[in-house]
Structures are given as C-alpha cells and as structure tokens.
C-alpha cells in the first residue's frame, strides 16, 4: 500500500522518514496542514509492533493536531512525529540529538513538543540540534505556578473545563458533587484531571497499566481501583479516556454504561464511524481534539509571553467551544465529532482563502 492510498492519509502536506545508523533512530514526521501556521505537535516515542502501525498513528495524530489548533483559534497548523522504540530501553541522548537533526531538516515547517514517551528534558536535548522545539521555556504558567514547559497541567485543566461543559449540557448540572467518573489512564494528564474532579466533589474510579500510577490515585485522591477489563464499562456519569487511543470501537461502544465520554486521550475513536455509534446510543461525546487542547493553547503563548490570566481564559474557552458543538449537533442531528471536523475545516478554508489574498 502506498502512502497516498493509506486509509489515514488526508491530504497531508508532508511525510518524511528518518533513520540514523549510529544511534538506531527510526522516526516519522507528518505534517497535515499549515494553512494557519507552522505545524506544531508532540514527538511520541512508542514501541510500535510494525512500521505500518507507526505510520497510521502519525497520520491520525497530525490530522488531529490540525483540527485541535483550528478549533482553539490558534495560528498553528497540525503535525506530529513518532520515534519507533521503547522509551525505557532505547532512549538515549544521542538518539534524541539525532531526532533533533531530523526535525531541523524541515526548516521550521514542523515544531516538536512533548508527548507520550518523551519529556520536557528530552525536548531540551533535541534543542541542542534544532531550534524548532516548543514547550521548554520556564515561566509562570496559566495557574500562577512555576512552569517548566510541561503541557500536562494545561491539558488536564482544559479537559476538566470540558467535562464541566458536557455535564452541564447532558445532565443539566452546574456542579460535580457526587458525579461518578471512570478515568482510564492516570499518568501526567489523567492524574491531574482526577485531582480537579476530586476537588470538585466527584467520585472516581481509575485504572492505569502502571500499578504505581493507579496506587497514587487511590492513596492520594481516594479513587477506587478498577481492572483493565472493567474500567470502560462501569455504570458512571462520565467516562474519561486518558491513555492511548482507539478505545472506542465496535466491541466497546455497545457495552458502555455512561452518559458522557470526555477525556484527554488523542484519537479515542478507532474509526470515524464510531462517532455516529456513540451518537445513536445517546452518549454525548466531547471530541478529543476539542477537549484536550489546553496544552497546545498554553504552549502557543510561549512564542508571545502573556499574562497567565489571559492564557487561562483562552483555555477556559474550551467549554464554550464544546457547548457550541453540542448545540449544533442537536440542531443538525449529526454526531459531535463530525460537527467538530466541519467547524475546523471551515476555519482552515478561511485561513487558506486569506493567504491567497
């Protein structure tokens, strides 16, 4: 199968493959769309079972970044990169520097940020070989706390705002007291989301593949542990997927016992048609590329230092965006994910038209 015939290829502008013999680096960079600006997106490191799986992931993730930035009204395009390998076994400073050289070859069309399997410190190593990295500047964050570039706090807060908007729309509630929430994945983002929800009075069920992460949520937040087999299917008000994607599919959706799906994970739908499956079941889906935009919003202000309150207000507009999507979905009788994609496409067309004069 050629790239152009790949089911996840969606008019991507650029796809490049990088290999470094000395360090063993195997990486892919995908740029989906730059109509609104340079393609900013995370650099993910993951031990993909096949190269095809890596290509599929980078194509899907880069497209999601385009829509994420468009819905958040950022002057950024969508891109993503993946490094094939285990972060625990294969990550070295030399490999990260090689990745920096690979990013630099694109001359700023793609700007790398932190993602699953990489960290702010990793991006700083890449920075030795390229200036085209983001999310590494120390400053005061949106919440008034010292910020080292990690987008997790902003992503978690934006997701929390999105959960509030979904609960208000679907359940008619302005508070979260006693709300029952199942969180799949309590890493950097999921744990912070859980803390926001606990502080707002919600009851939590959690699962993480790493026992230490789940134990932390249980011990520190009073969450109830759940197994991998049951976390998606608990009878709760909100299901918050905050791990890797593609958890909503033909097998899982019929078994869901929730009113709302609102989480921070990227690419929660295994296929676009699963958006309609959720809609037909009456489950309100907060499109992932709309609800988890807090991190990219925060990073975008690194280029133009701004008062933390301004950044916070921008993140909080995620709730307004979701409410608009929910309203349009009801009015047009179409799934929320499709409505979100159409709104993002409209904004991309506007940017392309403006660029042509």
Active site residues: 80
Task: Report the C-alpha gap between 340 and 20 in whole angstroms.
Answer: 39
Query: Cα dist. 40→103, 182, 260, 289 in Å?
Result: 11, 30, 29, 14
Secondary structure element (H or E) that encloses residue 261, with its range? strand 258-261
Strands (DSSP E) contained in 39-196 are 39-46, 77-84, 110-113, 139-140, 146-147, 180-184
Query: Cα dist. 347→39, 121, 189, 299 in Å?
Result: 15, 34, 28, 20
Smallest CA-to-CA distance from 226 within 190, 262, 254, 199 is with 190
236 pairs with which residues across the strands? 258
Q: Cα-Cα-Cα-Cα dihedral of 59, 115, 244, 316, to 10°?
A: -100
27 pairs with which residues across the strands? 18, 83
Smallest CA-to-CA distance from 278 within 343, 339, 340, 336 is with 336
């Amino acid at each position: 199968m050629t790239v152009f015939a790949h089911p996840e290829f969606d008019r991507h502008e650029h796809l490049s493959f990088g290999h470094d013999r000395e360090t063993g680096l195997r990486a892919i960079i995908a740029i989906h769309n730059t109509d609104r600006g340079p393609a900013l997106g995370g650099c993910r490191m993951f031990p993909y079972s096949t190269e095809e799986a890596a290509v599929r992931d980078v194509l899907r993730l880069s497209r999601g970044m385009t829509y994420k930035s468009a819905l958040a009204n950022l002057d950024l395009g969508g891109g993503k990169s993946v490094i094939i390998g285990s972060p625990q076994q294969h990550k070295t400073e030399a490999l990260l520097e090689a990745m920096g050289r690979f990013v630099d070859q694109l001359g700023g069309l793609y700007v790398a940020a932190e993602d699953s399997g990489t960290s702010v410190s990793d991006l700083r190593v890449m920075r030795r070989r390229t200036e085209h990295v983001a999310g590494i500047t120390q400053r005061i964050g949106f919440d008034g706390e010292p910020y080292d570039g990690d987008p997790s706090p902003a992503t978690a807060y934006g997701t929390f705002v999105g959960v509030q908007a979904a609960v208000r729309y679907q359940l008619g509630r302005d508070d979260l007291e006693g709300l029952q929430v199942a969180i799949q994945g309590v890493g950097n983002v999921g744990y912070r989301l859980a803390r926001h929800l606990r502080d707002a009075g919600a009851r939590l069920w959690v699962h993480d593949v790493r026992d230490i992460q789940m134990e932390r949520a249980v011990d520190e937040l009073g969450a109830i542990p759940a197994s991998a087999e049951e976390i998606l299917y608990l009878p709760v008000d909100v299901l918050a997927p905050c791990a890797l994607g593609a958890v909503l599919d033909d097998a899982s959706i019929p078994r869901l016992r929730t009113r709302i799906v609102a989480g921070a994970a990227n690419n929660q739908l295994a296929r676009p048609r699963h958006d309609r499956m959720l809609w037909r079941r009456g489950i309100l889906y907060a499109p992932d590329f709309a609800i988890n935009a807090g991190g990219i919003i925060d990073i975008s202000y690194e280029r133009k230092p701004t008062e933390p309150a301004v950044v916070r207000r921008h993140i909080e507009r995620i709730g307004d965006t979701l409410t608009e999507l929910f309203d349009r979905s009801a009015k047009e009788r179409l799934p929320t994910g499709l409505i979100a994609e159409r709104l993002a496409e409209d904004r991309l067309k506007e940017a392309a038209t403006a660029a042509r004069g």
